[in-house]
């Protein structure tokens, strides 16, 4: 299999290791061309081979924890699998957080780790850990390639690689792990083409709901008075949004969504946390659905989970092409294994008797709490809640917004969506360890302006995200510096603990400014409303031609007071 060499390389030299040639050929055959490499010695055969081939777009990131999240962001942005390549030992272990996040966000990472031959494991050899299937809880499949290069072993390796690459994107996408034991010498190169490899295809049959089943579903929908549709975290999907809008309009169903669902129809209901707080003090049972239909990934709102677990629907259908049994509300009665857009499209053709009383109930509530929020936020002092309002007003439309865990995502959800923005967040496992790296990876191939808003602890945790060559002019980082883990002051439990200040809040007086300078970012700061408005204007001005960081300083105690007051106002 011929290939073009990178134009800054003079010779067509690739590793002499046959498995690696095979792997490169199969990756190309499956259209997997984005590679994130971390330096090492044992992975030299992969580095030498991938970096010579023009079709591979290789990036280099030293910190494997950051590289993993960067790859996740890349994959999310271009909706394709991304390969990760690292050496043996703790290098491989450092991928684990990103692999777990990718697993729970259904992102197909192809994790390629170099290893020593198994007879050297646990033998006081350097840089080895027990690496076989180390990500077993977070991958669809983990393989270790055979060491030998006999015809049979190469056939076996090709079959296993084919299977991994197919499974990564089949059904619910997920990471796969290809561990490669390698014998020295590691740097021997040959002038050769890639081998002609046999690609094995996986043909997936898309299931459709039968006519009979559809008419049964229709009957249930028509006879249930209160139909509630809940959209979890989703990638932007206009076809799905159209189908859902049509179904909701025809059926009168209420569609609840968060910003991370990436839906924008104004007939849908957002502001979930404040609406539910308000409902609790009236007659919550009036809002209890008869039929709940869910799809997508996780939801941020804890209040929603508590509400639906208490006021259980008579029926709960979960729609998913891969058929996972998410019984988040302890009421699951049916899993419908179909494409979500197809499901709503098919049902729209059968349903047309929209009774909007349930929808009006929710929309009236939403309007009331949003008005209350707006008048409250207008008059509060400078705080995280206020800063998020001002930031939301200034972020340009039609951009990508990445939200850090944990209070940033919650504050953003309390405010209106930025017009036509796409929202992302590492909500698969809700870690604070890779929010910035994910955004940097995403932004590195995004044609849009990308803003990441994250807390100070998350920023410092993942500041190595800035330690690479892929920081583009389209990146804007907003660090909400409230002096520590302010989220723990907002939620009950940690804030009452005697260990709160030292072990939950973990006060942080370091400033992001020094790191911004170290990584050559333009730096802005704000400690009050006037400064923030001024900084935001410059931060988002077309004149800002370079990646920039805005550090917003707020007072943790004021933040907690303001946040709690909003909810008590909503309650009263």
Give the range of 156-164, 312-320, 429-437, 441-449 binding ligand TPP by CB under 6 A.
Answer: 429-437
- Between CA 326 and CA 7 the distance in angstroms is 49
Would you count residue 554 as binding ligand TPP (CB under 6 A)? Answer: no
* Residue of 487, 532, 536, 552 interacting with ligand TPP (CB under 6 A): 487
Nearer to ligand TPP, 271 or 383 (CB): 383
- Residues 438, 25: Cα–Cα separation, whole Å: 28
Instruction: Return the number of the residue (244 or 477) whose C-beta is nearest ligand TPP.
Output: 477
Cα 359 to Cα 253: distance, rounded to the nearest angstrom: 6
Which residues have CB under 8 Å from 132's CB, separation 6+?
Answer: 115, 118, 142, 144, 179
What is the maximum alpha-carbon separation in the chain? 76
How far is Cα 154 from Cα 19, in angstroms, rounded to an integer? 7
For residue 425, state whether it binds ligand TPP (rule: CB under 6 A). no
Q: Which among 97, 109, 89 has a CA at the least distance from the CA of 35? A: 109
Number of residues that bind ligand TPP (CB under 6 A): 18
- Provide, rounded to whole angstroms, the least separation between the CB of residue 410 and ligand TPP: 8
Smallest separation, CB 97 to ligand TPP (Å): 7
Please identify, among the stretches 199-207, 242-250, 453-461, 536-544, the one whose residues bind ligand TPP according to the rule CB under 6 A.
453-461
Beta carbons of 395 and 451 less than 8 angstroms apart: yes
Kindly tell me which residue out of 258, 433, 462, 551 binds ligand TPP, with binding defined by CB under 6 A.
433
Q: Which of 16, 101, 456, 462 binds ligand TPP (CB under 6 A)?
A: 456
Query: Smaller CB distance to ligand TPP: residue 34 or 551?
Result: 551
Does position 186 interact with ligand TPP (CB under 6 A)? The reply is no
361: exposed, middle or buried (Cβ count in 10 Å: 0-12, 13-18, 19+): middle
Query: Per DSSP, which regions of 296-371 are E strands?
Result: 315-319, 334-336
Q: Using CB under 6 A, which of the segments 107-115, 180-188, 448-456, 464-472 binds ligand TPP?
A: 448-456
Binding mask 246-265 for ligand TPP (x = CB under 6 A): --------------------
Straight-line distance from the first to the last Cα atom of the chain, in angstroms, rounded to the nearest whole number: 71
What is the closest distance, in whole angstroms, from the C-beta atom of residue 197 to ligand TPP in the complex? 39
Candidates 229, 255, 432, 443; binder of ligand TPP (CB under 6 A) is 432
Contact call for residue 550 and ligand TPP (CB under 6 A): no
482 binds ligand TPP (CB under 6 A): yes
**Per-residue binder mask for ligand TPP (CB under 6 A), 123-162, x = binder:** ----------------------------------------
Choosing from 166, 425, 438, 486, the residue that interacts with ligand TPP (CB under 6 A) is 486
Q: Which of 480, 516, 536, 548 binds ligand TPP (CB under 6 A)?
A: 480
Beta carbon nearer to ligand TPP, 184 or 557: 557
For 397-440, list the strands marked E by DSSP.
Answer: 400-403, 422-424
Residues linked to residue 112 through DSSP beta bridges, in sequence order: 85, 178
Task: Tell me how far apart the alpha carbons of residues 387 and 106 are, in angstroms, rounded to a whole number.
Answer: 32
The alpha carbon dihedral of 393, 397, 399, 403 has a sign of positive
**Does residue 431 touch ligand TPP according to CB under 6 A?**
yes
Which range binds ligand TPP by CB under 6 A, 19-27, 35-43, 168-176, 426-434?
426-434
Find the binder of ligand TPP among 336, 485, 547, 562 (CB under 6 A).
Answer: 485
Q: CB-based contacts of 236: which residues, under 8 Å, 6+ apart?
A: 262, 422
Burial of 200 (0-12, 13-18, 19+ CB in 10 A): middle
Binding-residue pattern over the window 396 to 415 for ligand TPP, x denoting contact by CB under 6 A: ---------xxxx-------
* Span interacting with ligand TPP, options 134-142, 153-161, 294-302, 428-436, rule CB under 6 A: 428-436
CA 185, chain centre distance (Å): 39
Residue 331 in tokens: 């009421």
CB of 425 to ligand TPP, least distance (A): 12
Output 52 or 412, the one with its CB closest to ligand TPP.
Answer: 412
DSSP 519-539: TT-EEEEESSHHHHHHHHHHH
Choose the binding region for ligand TPP from 199-207, 479-487, 492-500, 524-532 (rule: CB under 6 A).
479-487
Nearest to 57 by CA among 32, 35, 25: 35
Can you list the positions of beta strands (E) in 87-175? 109-115, 142-144
Binding map of ligand TPP across residues 18-37, x = CB under 6 A, - = no contact: --------------------
Taking CA atoms, 280 is separated from 146, 200, 264, 310, 520, in Å, by 60, 55, 26, 11, 49
Q: What are the distances in angstroms from CA 548 to CA 269, 407, 450, 516?
A: 34, 22, 11, 8
Residues that bind ligand TPP (CB under 6 A): 405-408, 430-433, 454-458, 480, 482, 485-487
């Amino acid at each position: 299999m011929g290939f073009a060499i990178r134009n800054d390389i003079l010779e067509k030299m690739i590793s002499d290791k046959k498995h690696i040639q095979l792997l490169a050929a199969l990756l190309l055959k499956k259209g997997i061309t984005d590679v994130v490499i971390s330096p090492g010695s044992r992975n030299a055969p992969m580095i030498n081979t991938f970096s010579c081939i023009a079709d591979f777009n290789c990036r280099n990131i030293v910190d494997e924890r950051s590289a993993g999240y960067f790859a996740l962001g890349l994959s999310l942005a271009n909706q394709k699998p991304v390969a990760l390549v690292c050496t043996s030992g703790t290098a491989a272990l450092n991928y684990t957080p990103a692999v777990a996040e990718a697993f729970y966000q259904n992102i197909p990472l192809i994790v390629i780790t170099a290893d020593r031959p198994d007879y050297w494991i646990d033998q006081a050899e350097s840089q080895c850990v027990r690496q076989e299937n180390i990500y077993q809880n977070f991958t669809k499949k983990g393989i270790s390639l055979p060491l030998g290069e006999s015809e049979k072993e190469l056939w076996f390796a090709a079959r296993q690689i084919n299977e991994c690459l197919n499974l990564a994107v089949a059904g619910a996408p997920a990471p796969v792990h290809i561990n490669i034991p390698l014998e020295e010498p590691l740097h021997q190169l040959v002038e050769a083409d890639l081998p002609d490899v046999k690609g094995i295809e996986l043909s997936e049959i898309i299931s459709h709901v039968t006519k009979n089943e559809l008419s049964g579903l229709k009957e249930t929908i028509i006879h249930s008075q209160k139909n509630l549709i809940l959209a979890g975290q989703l990638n932007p999907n206009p076809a799905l949004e159209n189908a859902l809008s049509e179904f909701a309009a025809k059926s009168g169903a209420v569609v609840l969504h968060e910003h991370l669902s990436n839906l924008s129809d104004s007939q849908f209901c957002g502001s979930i946390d404040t609406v539910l707080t308000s409902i609790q003090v009236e007659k919550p049972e009036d809002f209890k659905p008869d039929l709940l239909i869910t799809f997508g990934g996780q939801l941020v709102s804890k209040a929603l989970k508590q509400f639906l677990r208490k006021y259980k629907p008579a029926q709960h259908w979960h729609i998913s092409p891969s058929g996972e049994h998410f019984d988040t509300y302890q009421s699951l009665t049916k899993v419908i294994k179909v494409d979500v857009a197809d499901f709503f499209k098919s049902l729209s053709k059968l349903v047309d008797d929209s009774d909007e009383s349930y929808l009006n109930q929710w929309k009236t509530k939403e309007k009331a709490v949003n008005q209350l929020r707006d008048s409250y936020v207008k008059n509060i002092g400078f705080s995280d809640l206020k800063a998020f309002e001002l930031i939301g007003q200034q972020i340009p439309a039609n951009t990508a917004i990445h939200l850090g865990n944990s209070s940033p995502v919650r504050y953003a959800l309390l405010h209106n969506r930025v017009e036509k923005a796409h929202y992302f967040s590492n909500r698969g496992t809700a870690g604070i360890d890779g929010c910035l790296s994910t955004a940097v990876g995403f932004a590195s191939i995004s044609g849009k302006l990308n803003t990441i808003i994250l807390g100070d602890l998350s920023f410092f945790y993942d500041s190595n995200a800035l330690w690479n060559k892929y920081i583009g002019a389209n990146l804007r980082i907003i660090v909400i510096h409230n002096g520590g883990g302010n989220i723990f002051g907002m939620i009950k439990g940690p804030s009452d603990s005697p260990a709160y200040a030292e072990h939950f809040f973990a006060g942080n007086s370091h400033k992001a400014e020094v790191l911004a300078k170290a990584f050559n970012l333009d730096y802005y700061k704000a400690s009050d409303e006037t400064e923030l408005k001024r900084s935001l204007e410059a931060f988002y001005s077309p004149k800002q031609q370079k990646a920039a960081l805005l550090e917003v300083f707020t007072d943790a105690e004021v933040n907690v007071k303001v946040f709690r007051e909003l909810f008590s106002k909503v309650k009263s």
